[in-house]
Structure 1
Amino acid sequence: MVRIHPSILSADFVNLERDLERIASADGVHLDVMDAHFVPNLTFGLPMVQRIAEVTSLPIDVHLMIDDPDTWALQYAIDGVDSVTFHAEATRDAVALARELRARGARAAIALKPGTAVDDVLEHLREFDMVLVMTVEPGFGGQSFMPEMMPKLQELRGRADELGIELALQVDGGITADTLPIAAAAGADVFVAGSAVYGHADPAERTHALRLAAAPQPGSLDR
């Protein structure tokens, strides 16, 4: 099932509740938590996530781009948060953290920067509900999609199919109606889009257009 998760990084923070309402037809809302250490940008933290959870009925997809998620990630497993994603490059024990998140009722997800191989994640794939393959360098919106990340998606999807497990594969970075079908053909089924949604007058219409773009295209890659 295709899921579209607009990123509020491209929303109007002064009118955030309004902009959340404008994506009510989406499948979730993506919250990028950045600490200006793991990535060279600073966004917001737990108080903002808690407040958003109070004003939206959308499932919340938290993406932690922070140092030491082993210490901080569990705080984000709150009511209204569907999944918590932490980075493979930042954690000391990805499996232990994933198990703790699941124990607290959140879906556990692990993210990979473009330069990070999938090997360690493949070895422990049953421990995760979702893998996020970054299709840009994390930290800033508006970057160009990196098609060279598609083999990662294919490898992850192939391994999940071999194991017979349900695994969400998310892509984040440069997702548009043109690039989304490329990622979908490689195995992705959850798509984070910022400017492709909020950069238009009607975010709901753009969300619908992105969902339609995920339909199989002639000549697409076999999964």
Structure 2
Amino acid sequence: MVTNPMDYVDQMAKAGASGFTLHVEVAKENWQELVENIKSVGMRPGVALKPGTPVEQVYPLVLKPRFGGQKFMPNMMDKVRALRNKYPTLDIEVDGGLGPSTIDAAAAAGANCIVAGSSVYNFTYPDYF
């Protein structure tokens, strides 16, 4: 998560990114402008929220939460289910502890985009990141 995602939109687009996921916690004040900027450079906007953030905070934004090696949090799937029920055609991404033993739970909750970093690359970030 970055504190000013607007600063990274152009850089990510120039690097060839097709999507840009922002954290709802840092985009509360300017999310509409940020989403428009993301779209204007040809990327798909996405939104992530921390485990402690109520799912309702993303409802106005509907159009990741820590570092590699995070454990899967099955209790967060209630948020996925709530989003899927409210927005049946929404792309919903789950990131954090996804792999062979957890992907079915995320998909059953309604996720249709899965991020599997550490389970694929067997890598975790040091604590100072």
User: TM-score normalised to the size of structure 1?
Assistant: 0.50
Partner of 1:169: 92
Larger Cα Rg: Structure 1 or Structure 2?
1
Distance 1:72 1:81, change over 3 A: closer
Query: What are the within-5 Å matches in structure 2 for residues 143-222 of structure 1?
Result: 143-161=70-88, 166-199=89-122
Q: Give unpaired runs (5+ residues) of structure 2.
A: 123-129
Count of paired positions: 121
Distance 1:143 1:79, change over 3 A: closer
Query: What are the within-5 Å matches in structure 2 for residues 40-119 of structure 1?
Result: 65-78=1-14, 80-91=16-27, 92-119=29-56
Secondary structure at 2:94 match in 1: strand
Question: What is the percentage of aligned positions where both structures have the same residue?
Answer: 40
User: TM-score normalised to the size of structure 2?
Assistant: 0.83
Q: Give unpaired runs (5+ residues) of structure 1.
A: 1-64, 129-133, 200-223
How much has 1:180 moved relative to structure 2?
Answer: 0.6
Distance 1:80 1:74, change over 3 A: closer
Give 4+ residue runs of structure 1 displaced > 6 Å after superposition: none
- Distance in 2 (CA, whole Å) between partners of 1:141 and 1:82 is 21
Alignment-mate amino acid for residue 86 of structure 1:
L
How much has 1:77 moved relative to structure 2?
Answer: 2.1
Alignment-mate amino acid for residue 34 of structure 2:
L
Q: Is the Cα–Cα contact under 8 Å of residues 47 and 61 in structure 2 kept in the other structure?
A: no
Distance 1:154 1:67, change over 3 A: same
How much has 1:146 moved relative to structure 2?
Answer: 0.5
Aligned Cα root-mean-square deviation (Å): 1.7
Q: Is the Cα–Cα contact under 8 Å of residues 170 and 189 in structure 1 kept in the other structure?
A: yes
Q: Choose between structure 1 and 2: higher strand proportion.
A: 1
Alignment-mate amino acid for residue 77 of structure 1:
A
